């Protein structure tokens, strides 16, 4: 069965194609208020990352991932493993499902190597990079903006570093996670990205929220 | 805030994340072709509607998106346990019988609380929610 799977590089060649992030239109239509001196929250998009959904048994996927990427699956539900330089992460989504996020230009190579390593194992790997985007929230009031938006307990003492959940956010759902002390990440569906962005601008207004222009992982 | 324990996420989560999905432990007839119309109709359409202990399937819809089971008291709405698919409940109808016995004893001793009064209180709660 495995040799009938068509694997191809779905990433646009940014030299020849003018790819737009899911928030490109929102930045134009809703504006990008600059982070101010007094601002206590900053929002930003980390676009064009590689998002892979891994499904299958934990043992076989964990072994393949350690071999290929050097990090293992998180051992506990609702948790997140991040590699040493913070560029690659894998998050528990359900007992047989994990979300792997890597720099965009590594996606295809990683998928290919994972498939080669997994051979005929009963697993699924799906590249969902084009279907979702990652929104980063930083600043001392970041968790206060989240408290206004989600039913999940985002008290920094409860929602510790390394935790990640799928939960309700405003009237949609997001994957919410905390890769380190200073950052919260929201992974949102492409079609809800504009809604979430505008919600964040509105909810963050009282904290002087600003929008960071992306400096990392910019496509060439 | 009302929380439900998801046996897969292994934590209490907000009720808004869940959907009820009806009666649990309904086995599909092994040989559908050998079923009578009545047996097949029972399997497809007919569900229990007990007053008291009920085993139900629920879905952690905004979360891990897994089905799991809840044992619930349909009178008090109390959730007595949650357990994974494929597992069997540990709480059954005898649990309720034991509880009623306890509350009768309390009523006899304290003279305040009676089973009938608590039923009336429940009915008014239900009325308020309808
Ligand atoms: Zn769950």
> Three-state SS for A114?
helix
Check pLDDT > 50 for residue B129: no
- Return the bridge partners of B68, or none: B58, B84
Ion ligand 1: residues, CB within 5 A, are B 6, 8-9, 60, 63-64
Which among A13, A205, A185, A209 has a CA at the least distance from the CA of A87? A185
Q: Which domains does chain B possess?
A: 1-90 (3.30.2270.10), 92-130 (no CATH)
- What does the pLDDT look like over A5-32, one tens digit per residue? 788 888 877 678 888 899 999 999 999 9
B62 touches A: beta carbon within 8 Å? yes
B87 touches A: beta carbon within 8 Å? no
Confidence at residue B104, expressed as pLDDT on a 0 to 100 scale: 60
- What does the pLDDT look like over B29-65, one tens digit per residue? 999 999 999 999 999 999 999 999 999 999 999 999 9
Cβ pair A78:B11 closer than 8 A: yes
Cβ pair A94:B16 closer than 8 A: no
- What does the pLDDT look like over B85-124, one tens digit per residue? 999 999 887 777 777 676 665 544 444 443 444 444 444 4
Contacts of A95 in chain B (CB under 8 A): 8, 64, 66
- What does the pLDDT look like over A165-208, one tens digit per residue? 999 999 999 999 999 999 999 999 999 999 999 999 999 999 99
Contacts 24+ apart (CB under 8 A), A149-155: A149/A199, A149/A200, A149/A203, A150/A174, A150/A176, A151/B1, A151/B14, A151/B16, A151/B17, A152/A176, A152/B13, A152/B14, A154/A184
Distance from CA of B71 to the nearest CA of A (A): 22
pTM greater than 0.90: no
- What does the pLDDT look like over A58-89, one tens digit per residue? 999 999 999 999 999 998 999 999 999 999 99
Owner of token pair 């005929």: A120
Instruction: For chains A and B, count residue pairs whose Cβ atoms are closer than 8 Å.
Output: 39
Cβ pair A95:B14 closer than 8 A: no
Q: Tell me which of B5, B10, B13 to substitute to probe the interface with A (most A C-beta atoms closer than 10 Å).
A: B13
Cβ pair B62:A152 closer than 8 A: no
Distance from CA of B1 to the nearest CA of A (A): 9
Q: Confirm if A169 and A150 have CB atoms less than 8 A apart.
A: yes
Question: Residues 6 or more apart from A178 whose CB is under 8 A from it?
Answer: A80, A159, A160, A161, A162, A163, A164, A184, A185
Contacts of A94 in chain B (CB under 8 A): 8, 64-66
Distance from CA of A95 to the nearest CA of B (A): 7
In chain B, how long is the greatest CA-to-CA distance?
59
Contacts of B9 in chain A (CB under 8 A): 77-78, 165
Confidence at residue A215, expressed as pLDDT on a 0 to 100 scale: 52
Domain A24-211 is in which class? alpha beta
């Amino acid at each position: 069965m495995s040799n009938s799977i068509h694997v191809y590089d779905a990433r646009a060649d940014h030299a020849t194609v003018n790819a737009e992030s899911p928030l490109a239109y929102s930045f134009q239509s809703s504006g990008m208020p600059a982070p101010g001196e007094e601002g206590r929250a900053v929002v930003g998009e980390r676009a064009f990352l590689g998002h892979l959904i891994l499904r299958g048994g934990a043992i076989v996927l964990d072994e393949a991932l350690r071999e290929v990427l050097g990090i293992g699956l998180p051992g506990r539900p609702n948790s997140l493993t991040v590699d040493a330089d913070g560029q690659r992460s894998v998050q528990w989504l359900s007992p047989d499902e994990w979300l792997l996020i890597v720099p965009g230009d590594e996606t295809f190579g990683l998928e290919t190597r994972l498939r080669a390593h997994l051979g005929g194992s009963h697993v699924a790997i799906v590249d969902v990079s084009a279907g979702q985007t990652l929104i980063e929230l930083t600043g001392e009031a970041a968790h206060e903006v989240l408290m206004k938006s989600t039913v999940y307990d985002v008290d920094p003492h409860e929602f510790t570093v390394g935790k990640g959940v799928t939960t309700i956010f405003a009237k949609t759902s997001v994957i919410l996670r905390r890769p380190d002390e200073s950052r919260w990440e929201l992974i949102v569906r492409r079609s809800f990205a504009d809604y979430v962005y505008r919600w964040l601008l509105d909810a963050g207004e009282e904290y002087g929220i600003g929008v960071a222009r992306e400096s990392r992982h910019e496509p060439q | 805030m009302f929380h439900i324990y998801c046996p897969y996420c292994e934590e209490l989560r907000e009720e808004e994340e869940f959907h009820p999905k009806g009666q649990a432990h309904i086995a599909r007839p092994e040989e559908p072709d050998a079923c009578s119309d009545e047996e097949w109709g029972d399997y497809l359409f007919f569900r229990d509607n007990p007053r008291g202990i009920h085993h139900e399937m629920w879905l952690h819809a905004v979360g891990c998106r897994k089905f799991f089971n809840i044992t619930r008291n349909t009178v008090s709405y109390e959730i007595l346990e949650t357990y994974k698919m494929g597992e069997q409940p540990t709480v059954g109808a005898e649990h309720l019988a034991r509880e009623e016995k306890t509350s009768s004893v309390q009523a006899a001793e304290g003279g305040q609380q009676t089973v009938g009064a608590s039923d009336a209180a429940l009915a008014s709660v239900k009325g308020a929610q309808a």
